Structure 1
Amino acid sequence: MEKAKMSAYQLFTLILLFELGTALLFSIATDAKQDAWLAALISMAGGFCLFFIYYGLYRYYPDLPLTEYVQRLLGSILGKGLAFCYVLYFVYIAADILRAFGELLVTIAYPDTPVFIINVLFILVIVYTVYKGIEVIARTSEVLFVGMCLLLLSGFLLMMISGTIHIENLKPILEEGLSPVIKTAFNRTLYFPFGEMIAFAMIFPYVKEREKVKRTGLWAMGMSGLILALVAAGNISVLGLDLASHAQFPLLASIQSIEVAGFLERLDIYYILFAMIGGFLKLSIFFYVAVMGASHLFQVKHPSRLAYPMGIVILLGSIASASNYPEYIQQWRVVVQPYIDRPLQVIIPVLLLIVAFLKNKKKAV
């Protein structure tokens, strides 16, 4: 492992910004209609369960990242195979985030600029950050956390002042019962963004205040879940159900509706700043854990040397993943969530925790 440490507060800011990341920018839980905010809260509860699974594995192996302790649990051959799958998964998600970020900026700000150019510029900054290590990413998150809080608070305040919020758009609550809400929560929103916390199974060993990891993680996930629920409710309140469900970027449409005193309007910069902060932090985390996982797996003495070649892989992957934005979204919903996210975020960690429990029980006996 890299010889670095972070504080519990830095872990809190990392998790909060990571969870908000791209989830603020795109529609979540839209299948639950006007109850999308409730689906976000239910999936947050499911996210707590996943966090306890990842934390349970961390308790058994507090000094090892995910790609190391799977080899302890499953043996050299099977363990290395699974560790390699997780490295590929982290690379794939990083490429996905980069593609989403590029498409977003092309759509709302730079329509005449190729996605590839935007992705190149963004990945160069990320590569440099990852090359510097987890301590730099953690310190950066402290600064970005303050910026994100100011943006969220001022954005909600401006929406309230402008009078665009119509609470009646959230009614009727549970019109079709609780079943569609639960189905949406556990088929969609649980994996994005809460299940993506699997990346922190690679980061927990860097926290120097180990006794605070559980409390810090739960607080960060709880706050991010509440914010996402508020944003989902706010989008529906401002735009109405139909527009909020079909808008490509609902938060952007909500921000564009703000008009205060006849001159404070078209605040698209808010959305772009959300995208820059969330995309930067989330991509940095996935990129970093991919680099560290590969260095553990292939026994690279200086992990930072992998940053540049893996940056090229992620850049090329972001372009090759889909030919256009609708295809990218369809691929994510139909293939990635059910067949990649579900096993790697839920099924395999549960099985690993069972194996860890049985192995450590035998040792105790």
Structure 2
Amino acid sequence: MEKQIISSRQFTIITLLYSIGTAILIVPASITKALHQDAWIGATLGVLLSLLLVKLFITLGNQTPDKSFIEANNKIFGKYFGTLTSLGFLSLTFFSASELLYFIGSFMQTEIMPETPTLSFAVLFTIIIVFASYLGIEVFARSAELLFPIFMFIFIVFMICISPQINIENIQPIFETKTKPLLISTLTFMSIFSFPLVVLLMFFPSSVNVIKSAQKGFYIGTIIGGGVLIIIIALSTLVIGPTNTSIETFPSYALAQRISIGNFFERIEIIMAIMWIISIYIRTFIYFYATVIGLGHVLKIKDSRPFILPLGMCMIALAQIAHPNIVHSNNYNQKIWPLYSAVFTVLLAILLLIVAKIRNIKNAQNQQNTSSNSQEAKVQIKPQEPKEQAIPEEPKEQATPEEPKEQTKPEEPKEQATPEEPKEQTTPEVPKEQTTPEVPKEQATPEVPKEQPTPEEPKEQTTPEVPKEQTTPEVPKEQPTPEEPKEQATPEEPKEQAKPEEPKKQAKPEEPKEQTTPEKTNNPKTTDLQ
């Protein structure tokens, strides 16, 4: 059978409805018979002590988070003793499922359809349980989500409608019960309410997606389920009275029969019965599904679905012979069931924890360590990323000396800026090759007279704004890091601007040695050609 996963919210709802179960029908009568008007006090103590059991079950589940309760038995106790304890636990779950079928048949025959045999109710209810077991725990969890709002709505309507008939004198005097009967009744209440919660370990750690939130859901479901039972017991005592509550077989159903608003809204107890059928359905399925899965683990069979139909038929047969009458059922629930359930739920869980610590079985801690290590590694990786983003390599790239090299190269555009007017693009190529020797200073001067003798000088005189524009945009771009472009930009420009004013008359006599004359003679030729 494929592993199925449920959410923590679904697990909380299952825990809530499972803890109520048949307790909503049989607990008010049994606990009121022993404690009378203080029955709600015993129920409150039982819910508070049940939280300790929940802590015990959660600790046991964390020892082997990837295994069910039966698999944990075989791993901790070993092959032989683990198999024996597992079979004893499965006998508890299977017999409890059969007993719940008996309660369904007895309730329906006694209160609703007295002429219908209990076997028919058992068969119809078993069909639903078997079909849900074939579909698996995921589908069952979704059905529990759908049934939970219906349950809570009916319960709230039930409290509102019965509240006008409350009589406070029925719970007086308070704390009249002695300590011994109070403790015995509290343990009896816990045997029906909280002892069976260990069955949830069949899928609690291994089939829940978020374990931490499911642990909180375990506590929340137990508290809310216990609160529902406390309210039912208190309302039964306040409305019916402690004597009538202890006599009734199903006090909560008798309580619903008392609802009457304006002699119009009454006889709605059959609607209230839906609430009890929902809670019994949840607990019966958990018992039966745990038996099927556990038997597959004991026999080491991967797919345990072939056991569903045979076990369902055996459950129907056992339900017919479990209790011959209601008196035998009450004696069993008060005298035999508390001891029987305590052995295979509480004592077995404590033994498993002790043996697991002796044998140093700490799978949960190892997984938590590995998960914490992985989380720490993720946490360490995350702060490293901003370090990599803020490492000083980026300023190195911004302040590397390679940029000034790139800035020395654009010094040539000063020479390229002058030949913007002619179409001769070959002239800037020559200075690029001659930039390595120190000649470009000499080349910068002849290039100016090339442009000055041209008849286009009046046009060029209108364009002296170009060097101004070149100095202003180039300086802010080239001056952020080096100061050299400032020195190169200031001295060279006045040379070019000072010489073009006197080249017409004094350029030839001032520089006769540098043979600029032939070049100047060539310039008019080029201008004539142009």
Q: Does the pair score TM above 0.5?
A: yes
Q: Cα offset for 1:331?
A: 2.2
TM-score by length of 2: 0.66
Residue 146 and residue 301 in structure 1: after superposition, are their counterparts in 2 closer, same or farther (change >3 A)?
A: same
Asked if 1:350 corresponds to 2:353, the answer is no
Show the counterpart of 2:3: 3
RMSD of aligned C-alpha atoms?
Answer: 1.7
CA contact (8 A) 1:258 1:266 kept: yes
CA contact (8 A) 2:99 2:322 kept: yes
Show the counterpart of 1:360: 360
| Aligned residue type for 2:358 | L
| Aligned residue type for 1:15 | T
Q: Cα offset for 1:190?
A: 1.0
Asked if 1:155 corresponds to 2:140, the answer is no
- Alpha-carbon distance in 2 for matches of 1:88, 1:283: 14
CA contact (8 A) 2:8 2:213 kept: yes
From 40, 43, 47, give the equivalent of 1:44. Answer: 47
| Aligned residue type for 1:66 | F
Show the counterpart of 2:527: none
Structure 1 residues 46-65: aligned runs within 5 Å: 46-65=49-68
Asked if 1:106 corresponds to 2:117, the answer is no
- Alpha-carbon distance in 2 for matches of 1:210, 1:27: 31
Asked if 1:213 corresponds to 2:200, the answer is no
Deviations 1:232-259 (A, max 9, x none): 0000000011001111111111111111
- Alpha-carbon distance in 2 for matches of 1:332, 1:39: 17
Q: Cα offset for 1:362?
A: 8.9
Structure 1 residues 183-262: aligned runs within 5 Å: 183-186=184-187, 188-204=188-204, 205-262=206-263
Question: Structure 1: 5+ residue runs without aligned partners?
Answer: none
Show the counterpart of 1:25: 25
Q: Cα offset for 1:179?
A: 4.1
Query: Mean Cα displacement is larger for which, 60-69 or 207-216?
Result: 207-216
- Alpha-carbon distance in 1 for matches of 2:13, 2:141: 8
Question: Structure 2: 5+ residue runs without aligned partners?
Answer: 366-530
Q: Cα offset for 1:196?
A: 0.7
CA contact (8 A) 2:27 2:189 kept: no
- Alpha-carbon distance in 2 for matches of 1:283, 1:327: 20
Q: Cα offset for 1:165?
A: 0.9
| Aligned residue type for 1:350 | I
| Aligned residue type for 1:245 | S
Q: Cα offset for 1:226?
A: 1.2
From 124, 134, 139, give the equivalent of 1:136. Answer: 139
| Aligned residue type for 2:24 | L
Q: Cα offset for 1:361?
A: 6.9
- Alpha-carbon distance in 2 for matches of 1:203, 1:193: 19
Query: Mean Cα displacement is larger for which, 61-70 or 316-325?
Result: 316-325
- Alpha-carbon distance in 2 for matches of 1:234, 1:207: 36
Aligned residues: 361
- Alpha-carbon distance in 1 for matches of 2:302, 2:281: 26
Asked if 1:96 corresponds to 2:96, the answer is no
CA contact (8 A) 2:73 2:83 kept: yes
Show the counterpart of 1:82: 85
Show the counterpart of 1:286: 287
- Alpha-carbon distance in 2 for matches of 1:150, 1:141: 14
* Structure of greater relative contact order (alpha carbons < 8 Å, 6+ residues apart): 1
CA contact (8 A) 1:191 1:341 kept: yes
Structure 1 residues 114-133: aligned runs within 5 Å: 114-133=117-136
Q: Which runs of 4+ in 1 moved over 4 A?
A: 361-364
CA contact (8 A) 1:32 1:180 kept: yes
- Alpha-carbon distance in 2 for matches of 1:361, 1:332: 36
| Aligned residue type for 1:260 | I
Show the counterpart of 2:443: none
Q: Cα offset for 1:183?
A: 2.6
- Alpha-carbon distance in 2 for matches of 1:129, 1:176: 44
Show the counterpart of 2:325: 324
CA contact (8 A) 2:13 2:144 kept: yes
Q: Cα offset for 1:334?
A: 2.2
Asked if 1:66 corresponds to 2:72, the answer is no
Residue 276 and residue 99 in structure 1: after superposition, are their counterparts in 2 closer, same or farther (change >3 A)?
A: same
Q: Cα offset for 1:176?
A: 2.7
Question: 3-state DSSP class of the match of 1:323?
Answer: coil
CA contact (8 A) 2:37 2:170 kept: yes
Question: 3-state DSSP class of the match of 2:359?
Answer: helix
Deviations 1:125-166 (A, max 9, x none): 110011110001111110111111001101101112xx2111
CA contact (8 A) 2:9 2:214 kept: no
| Aligned residue type for 2:150 | G
Residue 362 and residue 263 in structure 1: after superposition, are their counterparts in 2 closer, same or farther (change >3 A)?
A: closer
Deviations 1:164-211 (A, max 9, x none): 11122111111134443233102x011111111011010212111011
| Aligned residue type for 2:287 | F
Q: Cα offset for 1:325?
A: 1.8
Q: Cα offset for 1:266?
A: 1.4
CA contact (8 A) 1:27 1:248 kept: no
- Alpha-carbon distance in 2 for matches of 1:32, 1:156: 23
- Alpha-carbon distance in 2 for matches of 1:360, 1:111: 57
CA contact (8 A) 1:57 1:356 kept: no
Query: Mean Cα displacement is larger for which, 174-183 or 340-349?
Result: 174-183
